[in-house]
Chain A
């Protein structure tokens, strides 16, 4: 299936701020595609090149190399105002001298739509984002969440072929962020606008995206659905960046088409699922990824690994433990802690891993 938005071998080189002669490859030869109506997330730590990629698609940066296609048209040479994209900025970039209405109407005026049509569209969009009655306010008079919605409304009123969102929730406080995340999800389900969403927050990425593009140092590390990225990370970075993970050394004992048997350094064996088409081989040294929420306490005899508790933090809905083992300190998370008899500090415990909480990545 042809992609609606396609990026091919994109490279962006900046002059380094530190010294005049050196350069920084902010985006280093990436390629990916977005299907129509799909929301994909560019996820990565700060400085990984995700915002630069978004700005290249939006036309705010000129690519050093590579091509960008939208709906089959190469847009490399189009300035932002000619591209069929709309951007929601991290800082919202609301025009402080215009009212909410004027802000949202601005783009429509640039399209030279008749004013009654503009009015209808603006009011409709305000209703979509839940900001009726506020159209006469100035941005300075709005709360952070309201400003966020105006920024969103201003972009979607343009009915863009592609909606670009640059960390749109990062300026909100935690509670509001959660609320807006849910609303964005609903909105996306309803409107199905092809979107590229940039964030460094894995939770946002998991919640919102159809697919996630994990980036590091200007390169793409993995592209996949949220579930599969969590379940089958391709390397230690992805495993550690998305969700929490304990890493244990091990070896492949046996290997099948979609699973394998792992041998831990203490001789214990366990089975794990693998993605189709993996390239693990018997005897290969690997890292075993164990998600903390998939570990439970048990008798030493039934345990995959043993150790003693060195800390215990109770947070209401969950409790987290640090257990020292001969493989290093492991984190264990227990949900519904009140229902169980939990070990205390210095207690010797056994840990067993549920199969769905175990993944395998190449040793580095």
Chain B
């Protein structure tokens, strides 16, 4: 009865109905279908009939089993170390009041917006076989093996601890300092207060960020591809299985093995852990009054944070310096040749990457906002499923998506292999979840009464969306645009399966250069990419200033 009335209402709003149908169809075709194809192919070892022989091989053959356990071991290690580092950093910033918080916070966001393998590149420049530290400074006296587990652990920790940091910063900020003050006034020591009050309250956040970092490490492709050495991980193994040994069923099987733990982590985090949270983040952190810690505590936390940021700067600085050297490890004289190469031979790559990312960005943003609106504001059957689907690509490693697109859009009626469209589609749907999440978060902060007021004042639901909801979602929309653009520019794991000669990407060129030991060239490519990202950031800020109502109000006030 109730549902029937709902359907009747939706039926009365054709625009809304069309939107729902559009979103559902797109999600099925471009999210579900490719993943299903991967699964399907892994059950078809000979191209016809179905059997489980692939999975049997994956669990019996050592060269398939090893990557699985390597990935798990690496994921668990990176998640544990990354969360520890992230927690210390977040605690230092929210609870210890270390000097230079803005600076530290900015530095910690570098790894998030830079191309994923810049840190690995830096590690090679510093500690590689011709590394600046290992080779130039220590003259090979210290034998550091950066290729393999330890190198990956360091690099992925640096790359992914910011994720943990940002989650934990939010959690720590939402813990009312009054609780700690209460504990102190009940005569608990500061140490005890931390372990009995602060730490247990941040536990849900710790688990959530652990799972997040775990998934990121599992799904990482760029860093292991150039740094794993003989330590094979699933994402690279699947890639090599498909592009090196062209055994698609086995590559698909490996991709499914990669998918399972990340999916589990995602659903545990989203549907179980989120309910365990003690605190609801209101989005309005109360004005923080924090207890001034002792000088020593402050000094220690400042030093640890400075050390961490120092490493980040060392890594990014090394790549920057490296981009101006003639031949890293041999001839460190400065030159602009690498940049000349990038803008000459590499200009095709630059143009293509920019073009594809620029096309994909608005589509991803708009689709994300529409989906968020439907999910957060409209009642329709299957709403929860649509939400889960739209967030699914978050959990699906790029490798799986890439293989899926390779397999799915290779025959009629969706014959997209080799086109720009397939790359654009990968970008649009891979980064859709961020738009959806930003949009949903923004909508939850907008009082639904505002939209009801518009309806009440005689606007249709279509007009309400464009006149009221969309303008209020603008900040979230632009943030989603920025994210999609940056991620598209720096993407590698999924698109490497669908790039073609006609459409080349900078990231692919960087990987080629690294493989070829043209490290200085790779460094120059990386910094050009970082340059684009920074320009995009300023452009975004400018556009946001131009269109966001909050800015208009701020100006009106001035």
A residues touching B (Cβ–Cβ < 8 Å)?
13, 58-60, 62, 64, 79-81, 83, 85-87, 89-99, 106-107, 110-111, 136-138, 140-141, 154-155, 158
Contact = CB atoms under 8 A, between A and B. Distances in A.
B556 A141 contact: yes
Nearest to B463: A110
Query: How many of chain B's residues touch chain A, expressed as a range?
Result: 20 to 34
B546 interface: no
Nearest to A98: B549
B449 A89 contact: yes
27 contacts: A58-B456, A59-B455, A60-B456, A62-B5, A62-B6, A79-B12, A80-B455, A81-B458, A85-B456, A86-B456, A91-B447, A93-B449, A95-B454, A96-B472, A106-B457, A107-B458, A107-B459, A110-B457, A110-B459, A110-B463, A138-B556, A140-B553, A141-B553, A154-B453, A154-B457, A155-B456, A158-B457
Contacts of B332: none
A107 B454 CA distance: 7
Contacts of A155: 456
B456 A81 contact: yes
B404 to A, nearest CB: 34
B453 A137 contact: no
A127 to B, nearest CB: 20
Given A93-B447, A97-B472, A80 B452 contact: yes
Interface string B525-556: 00000000000000000000000011011001
> Counting chain B CB atoms within 10 Å of each CB, which of A89, A94, A111 scores highest?
A89
A50 to B, nearest CB: 16
A13 B3 CA distance: 13
> Counting chain A CB atoms within 10 Å of each CB, which of B12, B457, B552, B557 scores highest?
B457
B553 A138 contact: yes
Given A64-B2, A137-B556, A95 B455 contact: no
B447 to A, nearest CB: 5
B138 interface: no
B105 to A, nearest CB: 26
Contact of B549 (A64, A97, A111): A97
A57 to B, nearest CB: 11
A81 B557 contact: no
A106 B449 contact: no
Nearest to A13: B2
B460 A81 contact: yes
Interface string B445-478: 0010110111111111101000110011000000
B9 interface: yes
B333 to A, nearest CB: 56
A314 B455 CA distance: 50
> Counting chain A CB atoms within 10 Å of each CB, which of B2, B454, B456, B459 scores highest?
B456
B32 to A, nearest CB: 26
Given A93-B447, A110-B458, A87 B556 contact: no
Contact of A141 (B2, B456, B468, B557): B557
Given A81-B456, A110-B457, 9 more contacts: A58-B456, A80-B452, A93-B447, A93-B453, A96-B549, A99-B556, A107-B456, A107-B459, A138-B556
A86 B457 contact: yes
> Counting chain A CB atoms within 10 Å of each CB, which of B455, B459, B471 scores highest?
B455
Contacts of B455: 59-60, 79-81
Interface string B90-112: 00000000000000000000000
The 6 closest A-B pairs by CB, nearest first: A97-B549, A107-B457, A93-B449, A110-B458, A93-B453, A80-B455
Contacts of B468: 95
A107 B415 CA distance: 49
Contacts of A13: 2
B552 A97 contact: yes
A93 B452 contact: yes
A267 B228 CA distance: 97
Contacts of B463: 110
B344 to A, nearest CB: 47
Given A81-B460, A96-B553, A110-B463, A89 B471 contact: no
Nearest to A23: B2
A106 B454 contact: yes
A88 to B, nearest CB: 9
Nearest to B549: A97
Nearest to A85: B456
A112 B186 CA distance: 65
Contacts of B471: 97
Interface string B429-452: 000000000000000000101101
B82 to A, nearest CB: 36
A59 B457 CA distance: 12
A13 B452 CA distance: 20
B443 to A, nearest CB: 14
A89 B457 contact: no
A111 to B, nearest CB: 6
A26 B457 CA distance: 26
A193 B22 CA distance: 44
Contacts of B447: 89, 91, 93
A51 B146 CA distance: 65
Nearest to B6: A62
Nearest to B5: A62
Contact of A89 (B5, B452, B550): B452
